[in-house]
Amino acid sequence: MSLAGPGGLPAGALWGATVALGLVASGILAPIAGAFTDAIACRACTLRVASYICVAATILIPWAADHGLPWAAALFLVAQTGYTIAASLYDSYLVDIAPAPFRGRASGFGWALGMFGGIAVVGIALMMISSVPAAEQTRHLGAIFLMSGIAFGILAIPALGALHGISSPAKFACWRTEALIASLRQVRATLTGWRAHGNALRAMWAFFLINDALVTLQFFIAIVLSARFGLTVEGLLWLSLLFHGSAIPSTILMGTLADRWGRRRAIVAMSGALACAVLLLAFSAASWAPAAAIVPLGLVFAALQSNFRAMYADLVPADQAAELFGFNAIAGRLSAALGPMIFGFVSALGGTTWALCFLLIPLAVGVALLLRVRLSSDGTKRVGEDPASVTYRSGV
């Protein structure tokens, strides 16, 4: 059965537009939230608020869906915004918790640990629908959203507690109103003085062109697998377990290898594996194709993002980490917003195969841009660092 949104708009196009709007909104707010956090010298405070906004919105999505699609879409946008701000602040902690030569494995370990939470949630979801007929499984998605939001809230408590005492040195600490004004001025100053962070910006855009393909595939993989291979919700959840199971060891291993072998080489190799998975989904109709594509996706999904996070941490000054990771979020969200939107409409007009092949374009351009980034092997120090305190980063 073909799903359609209001006015007969194809479900893929409607979902792509909703995702794009959420990514743009969250991306615009992320650098402001980051600069505000740098100003008040309480990164954990902003992280806590953003996390529980995401939790509350996720829990309320089933209620919103009962009152109409616009309400559900609005709650999704709120949850996406809260998650994006929280994720950018969490990523900025990498500058403080690990020295440069070990950031790849520290970042990979963090991603892998998060995957265990994903496995737990997927396992609970499987138990919730294991005895439900395939035709009725979509009716239980509301309960799965509710469970996911509650699980996120519970798991966030110890994480937020552990991060509370870690903070980059702030340039100033001030009252909330003054901090908001100062954060807006700081964001403007960073934008007008972007050349001072040119190398970090090149790395940021390289990542998010590659991530454009990665995130778009993440948002549409369920639709692609259901439409092309007829998988049920239960089948998709089993593939999700396979995805997480392959991602955990890969993320840790690739972080360690990237520290030793070089982050750029590791990222280029993983981009090639991602391209192979995309081509397999686009042109294979075999029954084994979903599992064969999910495994390489699992191997590179978190590993790509964790290694780029480590690379970016090497290139930003510690006293602007939250703000610049916020810009990292806005560039990524604006870039990733185009991917789901374009994928949805290309799929509606030309079919899934063409839409999947289109993902190879930003992937190739991102790799080409990555090759132009000056990494620490050329002796480049971070902007704003005291030369006497610079530790040259190896393995990238």
Query: Taking 60 as the threshold, does the pLDDT of residue 269 lie above it?
Result: yes
For 12, half-sphere exposure in the C-beta direction (CA atoms, 13 angstrom radius) is 25
Stretch among 66-75, 117-126, 180-189, 304-313 having the lowest mean pLDDT: 180-189
Separation in Å, CA 261 to CA 41, 103, 167, 256? 36, 13, 30, 9
Q: What is the pLDDT of residue 323?
A: 64
Tell me what the mean pLDDT of segment 302-318 comes to: 77
- Give the pLDDT score at 1: 35
Q: So what's the pLDDT on residue 378?
A: 37
**Cβ atoms 2, 306 nearer than 8 A:** no
pLDDT at position 390: 34
Q: Which residue has better confidence, 136 or 9?
A: 136
Percent of the chain with pLDDT over 70: 72
Please give the pLDDT value at position 391.
34
Helices first, then strands: H and E counts in the chain: 14, 0
Mean pLDDT, residues 338-364: 82
Is pLDDT above 50 for 317? yes
- Rounded to whole angstroms, what are the CA distances from 175 to 48, 182, 222? 18, 10, 46
Average pLDDT over residues 316-336: 64
Name the more confident of 42 and 206: 206
DSSP for residue 393: -
Greater model confidence, 343 or 134 = 343
Among 52-56, 76-80, 139-143, 332-336, the minimum mean pLDDT is found in: 332-336
From residue 52, alpha-carbon distances to 156, 183, 210, 302, 334 in Å are: 9, 22, 29, 23, 23
Confidence check: pLDDT of 297 > 90 = no
CA distance 121 to 76: 19
Please give the average per-residue pLDDT across 296-303, as a whole number: 84
Supply the pLDDT for residue 53.
92
- Predicted confidence at residue 172, as pLDDT, reads 46
- Choice among 19-28, 143-152, 170-179, 331-340 with the minimum mean pLDDT: 170-179
Q: What is the pLDDT of residues 153-168, one digit of tens each?
A: 888 888 788 776 665 5
Q: Is the pLDDT of residue 56 over 90?
A: yes
What average pLDDT does range 116-137 have in this prediction?
Answer: 79
pLDDT at 364: 92
Check whether 213 has a pLDDT greater than 80. Answer: yes
Contacts of 267 (CB under 8 A, 6+ apart): 210, 258, 304, 307, 308, 311, 367, 370
Rounded CA separation 134/144 (Å) = 15
Task: Between 54 and 70, name the one with better pLDDT.
Answer: 54
Q: In this predicted structure, which of 57-71, 139-153, 326-340 has the lowest mean pLDDT?
A: 326-340
pTM: 0.59
Q: Is the dihedral of CA 122, 79, 300, 257 positive or negative?
A: negative
Q: Where residue 383 falls among pLDDT bands split at 50, 70, 90?
A: very low
* Token pair 């509301």: residue: 142
Hey, what CATH topology would domain 10-374 get? Growth Hormone; Chain: A; (1.20.1250)
Q: Which residue has the higher pLDDT, 250 or 175?
A: 250
**CA triplet 130, 288, 211: central angle to 5 degrees?**
85
Helix (H, G, I), strand (E, B) or coil at 10: strand
Query: Which residue in this structure is represented by tokens 């692609």?
Result: 224
Note the pLDDT of residue 275. 92
Mean pLDDT value of segment 335-349: 74
Mean pLDDT of all residues belonging to the chain: 74
Domain residue ranges in the chain: 10-374
Q: What is the pLDDT of residues 70-112, one digit of tens each?
A: 788 888 888 888 888 888 788 777 777 777 777 777 888 877 7
